[in-house]
Amino acid sequence: ERKQLYRLRREPTRTLDGTDILLYANAESREDVADAHALGAAGVGLYRTEFLFLQREGLPDEEEQFLAYRDAVLGMTGRMVTIRTLDLGADKSDRSGLTLPSEPNPALGCRGVRLSLARRDVFVSQLRAILRASGYGPVRILVPMITHRGEVLEVAALVRQVARDLRSEGHEIAGHVPLGAMIEVPAAAIALPGFISDVDFVSVGTNDLVQYLLAADRNNEALDTLYDPLHPAVLRLLRDVVRTARARRKPVAVCGEMAGDPVFTPLLLALGLGELSLHPATLLEVRRAIRGLDLVHLRARTPALMRARDRAGVERWLEAARPSA
Ligand code: PEP
Ligand code: MG
């Protein structure tokens, strides 16, 4: 069984009716990047840079970050590496001295792009490191916690400025490094039509999107049943985000934990997703699930999925969508 699964590392991620799905890996360590490559991931869809900041005292400087990002780029041998800018906040216990010592509600506080824009010195050194790594292979920049169009424009301007500076210093960097927004705040999902033309791609962070949409702390076990990725509101928002992005021909992926659970794979394909990013640990299981699905058949069943009124209804849909072995 494990051996059978392991054989899939060299097989395409293709549905029964011949559509290729892009399976990217989430990585939060050097080992994850090696695994992503070995398992035949299309690239790294979410490189969480927090680990560089959490496993030490003080802040990593530009050079230290550059070396880590370049390692990831070289390790993926020409496949895309999507580097997410720092997503620290008072919810993560870090000793870097970067985040505020305490906030009354860290999930709603100064985290992600908010912290980066508040600490431009730190942000610029990270952007410099990422852009320098782009000289060694394909790189994209992904920005967490985007809520306002203005944040996208501000980051885009900063990236252009940093690129100009690096070129004038003689660094060889990629001609264009795509800039993407994490869609994980409901406001960003709803307002996406207003700023989709300002980004090159989007990636839906369902971990936070579910938390904020359902007002249920993702880390509070007492709320387990209320923190529900199968809530119809989540599915509708996902469908709308995918529609908006695809209508503008912008790549759209889901990179939350949802993407890594093969039980949810038929649902994500039915919602129109053609790209997923997930931890290497379940990449082959999700590939196997995709290879057993018929996309045309699933898409015909999307209206039935959207009619589900609660979790139980979605579960019945999933039960019926399961490939009959
Ligand atoms: C998410 O929110 O779904 C996500 C992928 O980011 P993180 O889990 O790092 O917050
Ligand atoms: Mg998130």
Q: Which atom of ligand 1 is nearest to the CA of 207?
A: 3
Q: Is the beta carbon of 208 within 6 A of some atom in ligand 1?
A: yes
Q: Which atom of ligand 1 is nearest to the CA of 205?
A: 3
State phi, psi for 135 to the nearest 5 degrees.
-75, -10
Using one digit for the tens of pLDDT, what is the confidence trace for 35-54?
Answer: 999 999 999 999 999 999 99
User: Known catalytic residue: 255?
Assistant: yes
- What's the gap between Cα 109 and its chain centre? 20
Q: Which of 44, 52, 184, 203 to mutate to test the pocket of ligand 1 (most atoms within 8 A of CB)?
A: 184
Banded model confidence at residue 2, pLDDT cuts 50, 70, 90: confident
Q: Is the beta carbon of 87 within 6 A of some atom in ligand 1?
A: yes
Give percent helix, percent strand, percent coil of the chain, each to the nearest 5: 50, 10, 35
* d(CA 115, ligand 1 centre) in Å: 16
Asked if 59 and 122 touch (Cβ cutoff 8 Å), the reply is: yes
Residue 27 forms beta bridges with which residues? 47
Q: Is 259 exposed, middle or buried (0-12, 13-18, 19+ CB in 10 A)?
A: buried
Handedness of CA 261, 263, 265, 267 (dihedral sign): negative
* d(CA 290, ligand 2 centre) in Å: 25
pLDDT higher than 70, residue 93? no
Q: Is the beta carbon of 45 within 6 A of some atom in ligand 1?
A: no
Distance separating alpha carbons of residues 51 and 27, to the nearest angstrom: 10
Among candidate residues 146, 255, 276, 298, the one labeled active-site is 255
Q: Which atom of ligand 1 is nearest to the CA of 144?
A: 6
The percentage of the chain sitting over the pLDDT mark of 90, rounded to a whole number, equals 91
Question: Of the ligands numbered here, which is closest to the C-alpha atom of 206?
Answer: 1
The percentage of the chain sitting over the pLDDT mark of 70, rounded to a whole number, equals 96
How confident is the model over 273-290, as a mean pLDDT? Answer: 98
Which parts are annotated binding residues? 48, 84, 184, 207-208, 218
User: pTM here?
Assistant: 0.97
Of the given ranges (55-59, 81-85, 96-100, 280-284), which has the lowest mean pLDDT? 96-100
Using one digit for the tens of pLDDT, what is the confidence trace for 14-41?
Answer: 999 999 999 999 999 999 999 999 999 9
Nearest CA to ligand 1 atom 1: 205
Q: How long a stretch of residues is the chain?
A: 325
Which parts are annotated binding residues for Mg(2+)? 184, 208
Looking at residue 72, its pLDDT comes to 98
Distance separating alpha carbons of residues 304 and 315, to the nearest angstrom: 12
Banded model confidence at residue 103, pLDDT cuts 50, 70, 90: confident
Reported ipTM: the value is 0.99
Q: Is the beta carbon of 184 within 6 A of some atom in ligand 1?
A: yes
* d(CA 190, ligand 1 centre) in Å: 18
Asked if 275 and 252 touch (Cβ cutoff 8 Å), the reply is: yes
* d(CA 206, ligand 2 centre) in Å: 7
* d(CA 227, ligand 1 centre) in Å: 14
Write the CA distances from 82 to 114, 133, 195, 302, integer angstroms.
20, 11, 20, 29
Reference 66, options 152, 128, 117, 17; nearest CA is 128
DSSP string, 4-36: HHHHGGGS--B-TTS-B-EEEEEESSHHHHHHH
pLDDT higher than 70, residue 95? no
Looking at residue 270, its pLDDT comes to 98
Q: Is 306 exposed, middle or buried (0-12, 13-18, 19+ CB in 10 A)?
A: middle
Reference 139, options 290, 247, 282, 33; nearest CA is 33
Query: Three-state DSSP class for 38?
Result: helix
To the nearest 10 degrees (0 to 180), the angle between helices 120-133 and 62-75 is 30
Nearest CA to ligand 1 atom 3: 205
Banded model confidence at residue 91, pLDDT cuts 50, 70, 90: low
Using one digit for the tens of pLDDT, what is the confidence trace for 169-212?
Answer: 999 999 999 999 999 999 999 999 999 999 999 999 999 999 99
Cα-Cα end-to-end distance for the chain:
15
Distance separating alpha carbons of residues 324 and 313, to the nearest angstrom: 20
